[in-house]
């Protein structure tokens, strides 16, 4: 029967079928990229990263620090939720604690006194006034939640910084429709809203953003597009852009199955289809790839870039490229490459060096801290 079909219609049919299969496979690839195997909502106590080292509960249970459950609206339209740890929040420091046992709820949240998991919580209301000073905003990576920086917060609070650990949209306990992450496109709105929350609700004089992976890239995007939002950025293993990162992973997984020569055209066509599908799904309707590397020349605030030398999720070359793209004559910048450190594992490989680098950079560039 094919012999009786005009050649132009047959060619069109073949092109349609091939194109459909390419885009169907591309959609599957983007689904995995936006909702990786470790992506879950809520705050599960099982199946977390080993590098979290048991810091999986809450600030009181794991750090012996009182904290406040907070929520605020994001410019992305989602309600975001998290923990605010005030500098006076040591549970053992009853003499200086600004907390009162009044059970009435505060408009900004409530202080939690015990484990937040599967228990009905008695609450305390925040009655004291926080000292206006720089505060730290922690931003987790794709598929994770606020607890990704719980072990780091122990060192920052001990140094005198109030900290906000929150769940990005579609993560943790923040609003979710199970749509996954958007490689920083939507998340940058969450970061800017969290920074505004610290300034307005907590009287932060300046906001220090510490992000990892997608969180780091989102912080850099905010620093470039909304200069007044952040006063200093610490970006740990950020990626250059969504399409570049997806291409890197596709090549890593398919290079052993597709000949570099024989399948060169089809490989490039598939990579192009997958990356365009990703850009479309994460909201880049113009299909123009844009990420931290493209935004870096517009970053004006002091920026500390950090990357693990054996990072298999985001190649170390991404961190180096972003650092070089930041204009040194405008922003004070520093780069630390942690030898033999894996993705998001710099603190766990070198806890003292990580802390010294971060606190030292903050104090050098924000004298009031």
β-strand pairing of 162-166 with 135-139: parallel
* CA 292/CA 220 separation, integer angstroms: 6
Identify the DSSP state of 105.
P
Instruction: Taking residues 116-144, report their average pLDDT.
Output: 64
Q: What confidence category does residue 3 fall into, taking pLDDT thresholds of 50, 70 and 90? A: low
Which of 298, 253, 250 has the alpha carbon at shortest distance from 273?
Answer: 250
d(C-alpha 358, C-alpha 262), whole Å: 48
Rounded average pLDDT over 205-210:
97
For the chain, give the percent of residues with pLDDT over 70.
85
**Predicted TM-score of the model (pTM):** 0.85
Distance CA 148, CA 141 (A): 8
Q: Quick check: 291 pLDDT over 80? A: yes
C-alpha 297: how far from chain center: 20
In this prediction, residue 12 has a pLDDT band, given cuts at 50, 70 and 90, of confident
Strands of the sheet containing 79-85, edge to edge, are 99-100, 123-126, 110-112, 67-73, 79-85, 162-166, 135-139, 207-212, 232-236, 303-308, 333-338
CB under 8 Å to 101, separation ≥6 — which residues? 124
Answer whether residue 172 shows pLDDT above 60. Answer: yes
**In residues, how long is the chain?**
369
**How many C-beta atoms lie closer than 10 Å to residue 155's C-beta?**
18
SS3 278: helix
* Average pLDDT rounded to a whole number, residues 228-254: 95
Span between the terminal Cα atoms of the chain, in Å:
79
pLDDT at 329: 83
Band (pLDDT 50/70/90 cuts) for residue 259 is low
Q: Would you place residue 103 in the very low, low, confident or very high pLDDT band (cuts 50, 70, 90)?
A: very low
Distance from C-alpha of 38 to C-alpha of 49, rounded to nearest angstrom: 9
Alpha helices, H only, the chain: 7-34, 59-63, 150-158, 187-201, 214-225, 242-254, 264-281, 292-295, 316-325, 346-349, 351-365
**Confidence band, pLDDT 50/70/90 cuts, at residue 111:** very low
The contacts of residue 277 (CB under 8 Å, 6+ apart) are 23, 26, 27, 29, 30
Question: Mean pLDDT throughout 293-320?
Answer: 97
- For residues 72-88, give the mean pLDDT: 94
| Selected residue with higher pLDDT from 76 and 317 | 317
Return mean pLDDT, the chain: 86
User: Which pLDDT band, with edges at 50, 70 and 90, does 96 fall under?
Assistant: very low
Mean pLDDT of 134-140: 97
Cβ-contact 203, 220 below 8 angstroms: no
């Amino acid at each position: 029967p094919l012999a009786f079909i005009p050649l132009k219609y047959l060619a069109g049919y073949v092109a349609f079928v091939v194109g459909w299969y390419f885009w169907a496979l591309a959609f599957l690839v983007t689904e995995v990229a936006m909702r990786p195997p470790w992506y879950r909502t809520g705050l599960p106590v099982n199946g977390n990263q080993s590098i979290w080292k048991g810091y999986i509960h809450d600030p009181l249970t794991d750090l012996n620090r009182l904290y406040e459950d907070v929520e605020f609206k994001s410019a992305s339209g989602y309600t975001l939720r998290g923990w605010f740890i005030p500098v006076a929040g040591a549970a053992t420091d009853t003499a200086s604690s600004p907390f009162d046992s009044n059970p009435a709820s505060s408009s900004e949240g409530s202080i939690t006194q015990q484990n937040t998991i599967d228990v009905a919580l008695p609450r305390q209301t925040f009655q004291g006034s926080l000292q206006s000073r720089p505060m730290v905003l922690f931003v987790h990576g794709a598929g994770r939640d606020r607890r990704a920086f719980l072990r780091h917060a122990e060192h920052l609070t001990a140094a005198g910084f109030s900290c906000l650990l929150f769940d990005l949209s579609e993560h943790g306990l923040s609003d979710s429709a199970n749509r996954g992450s958007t490689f920083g496109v939507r998340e940058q709105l969450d970061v800017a809203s969290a920074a505004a929350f610290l300034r307005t609700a907590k009287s932060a004089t300046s906001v220090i953003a510490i992000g990892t992976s997608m969180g780091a890239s989102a912080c850099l995007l905010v620093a470039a597009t909304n200069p007044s939002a952040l006063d200093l950025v610490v970006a740990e293993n950020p990626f250059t852009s969504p399409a570049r990162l997806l291409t890197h992973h596709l090549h890593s997984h398919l290079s052993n199955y597709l000949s570099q020569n024989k399948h060169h055209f089809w490989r490039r066509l598939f990579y192009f289809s997958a990356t365009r599908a990703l850009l479309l799904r994460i909201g880049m309707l113009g299909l123009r790839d844009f990420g931290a590397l493209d935004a870096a020349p517009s970053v004006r605030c002091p920026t500390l870039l950090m990357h693990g030398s054996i990072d298999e999720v985001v190649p170390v070359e991404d961190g180096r490229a972003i650092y070089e793209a930041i204009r040194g004559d405008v922003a004070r910048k520093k780069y630390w490459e942690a030898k033999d450190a894996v993705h998001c594992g710099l603190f766990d490989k070198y806890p003292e060096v990580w802390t010294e680098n971060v606190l030292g950079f903050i104090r050098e560039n924000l004298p009031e801290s």
